[in-house]
Structure 1
Amino acid sequence: MRIRKDDLVQVISGKDKGKRGKILKVIPRENKVVVQGINMVKRHQRPIPQLREGGIIEREAPVYASKVMLVCPNCDKPVRVGAKFLEDGTKVRICKKCGEVIDKA
């Protein structure tokens, strides 16, 4: 997967199309990601005396990684991601639109 935890992504299809959020969790085995504030679902939670109270809880559900695009921090647009090796041999992600390095140094 070319997107990682804490990346800013934009939803490109579905009920939340156009919304942006930060990736909270990546599930590579299922090719899904959990994005903050995206694909909210309601869960009926039974109360557990030691831990939490019951009720209807709203939380994020996983969404397929193909439905989100990484937002480039330089050009602030959803972009495709490429990879390239730097002179010192480290592999970094690059923006396909502006060619800038996405990974933080």
Structure 2
Amino acid sequence: MTDRVLLSIGGQHMEAALGHTFERRNPVTGEVVTVAAAGSVDDAVAGVDAAAAAFPAWSSTSPAVRLGPPLEVEQLHVHHGSELEDLDLVPVGRG
């Protein structure tokens, strides 16, 4: 199974503007593990522009609200750490 990895810009998941991709392969089997969008300068500029547009609202939120997403990720690691570790090992041929 090959996973598709898209860019995340302004809260949207999308292909690269130029449509370019790159493959990550399992070095042991040669199997394609992921096909990812290969961002260009235009994609990077779009990301910076989206971040700049989001900054005023983000900066007015409390630290407690900003801490929510990192804490959610931590909980995923606590409850699903071994599964995540297994997935992380696939691209290096150990999963």
Q: Which has the higher contact order (CA 8 A, sep 6+)?
A: 2
Give the alignment's TM-score, normalised by structure 1.
Answer: 0.26
Query: Which has the larger strand fraction?
Result: 1
Give the alignment's TM-score, normalised by structure 2.
Answer: 0.28
Query: Which has the larger helix fraction?
Result: 2
